A and B are shown apart, each in its own frame.
Chain A
Amino acid sequence: MDFKDIIFKVIISLLALFYFFYALVISKQVKVMDKVLQDKYNWFILFVASLQVTASLVILIIVLLAVFIV
């Protein structure tokens, strides 16, 4: 494994982890705003927020697989 590969793996691992926490924060904030303002389209906003958390988790798993297996 060369130096470029190691740097790449470290960066993508950190990015994936950061994105996962970021998605959690956004999701939490959307839930807070849903209580502040109840609108008829809030179900869609909450759905997308939870979709983002799921996607961030999937990305984290893909990245960890790429880092440790490939």
Chain B
Amino acid sequence: MENNNKKSSVFYSYNLNPQINFDTHAEGERIILSLRSHPFTQIGWILNSIFLFVFIFVLNFFIQNFFNLIQIFIFNIFAVVFILSYIWISFLGWYFNVGIVTNKRVIDIDLHAVIYKEISDAQLGKIEDITIKSGGYLQSLFDYGSIFIQTAGAAVNIEFNSVPHPSDAVQLINKLIGKKHGF
């Protein structure tokens, strides 16, 4: 666990002993790690938003001939609101997609398109296999990847997508599993 202590918070996406809580938190359960997608994976919507702002700005020069001042004003309000909503939804998608590791289980909280939420958890004792998938230049450069946790029987499998320091996180989970089994 010593080398895990060195790494904490890649823009709030890898947090050891985080100050968070969740609704199914059991008594005596200690939150050890919280994971969100690496901030670099969010670059897509950030660039899209910048592009949309520039596009709207340029579009204003062309629509002047077709609409009056009030119409252009209202058009701009809606355009800005649309882009801000897009940024907001994308941010919420990142913020509320969290993987939590406690001393008893791993929990995956997912929020899709802001409207659908999915919460799955697996007891540490039921974890059978943990796989890390990390490939490509960017994932190697920024040290992020996906963790797949397979559980025994019909229990759901857990996925932490594009999280920072996946090897350290898996190492930590393995240690907790070891402790659970008394190794």
Contacts and interface: CB of A to CB of B under 8 A. Distances in A.
A25 B115 contact: yes
B interface secondary structure, majority:
mixed
B21 A38 contact: yes
Given A26-B114, A29-B115, A45-B95, A35 B77 contact: no
A36 interface: yes
Contacts of A36: 22-23, 96, 109, 117, 119
A interface residue count range (under 10 / 10 to 19 / 20 to 34 / 35 or more): 20 to 34
A33 B20 contact: no
Contacts of B23: 35-37
Given A12-B74, A29-B115, A66-B70, A48 B88 contact: yes
Interface string B55-88: 0000000000001001100100110010001001
A6 interface: no
B11 to A, nearest CB: 12
Nearest to A16: B78
A33 B117 contact: yes
Contact of A15 (B78, B89, B96, B111): B78
B22 A45 contact: no
Interface of B: 12, 18-23, 67, 70-71, 74, 77-78, 81, 85, 88-89, 92, 95-96, 98, 109, 111, 114-115, 117, 119
12 contacts: A12-B78, A19-B85, A22-B85, A25-B115, A26-B89, A33-B111, A33-B117, A36-B117, A36-B119, A39-B20, A45-B95, A62-B74
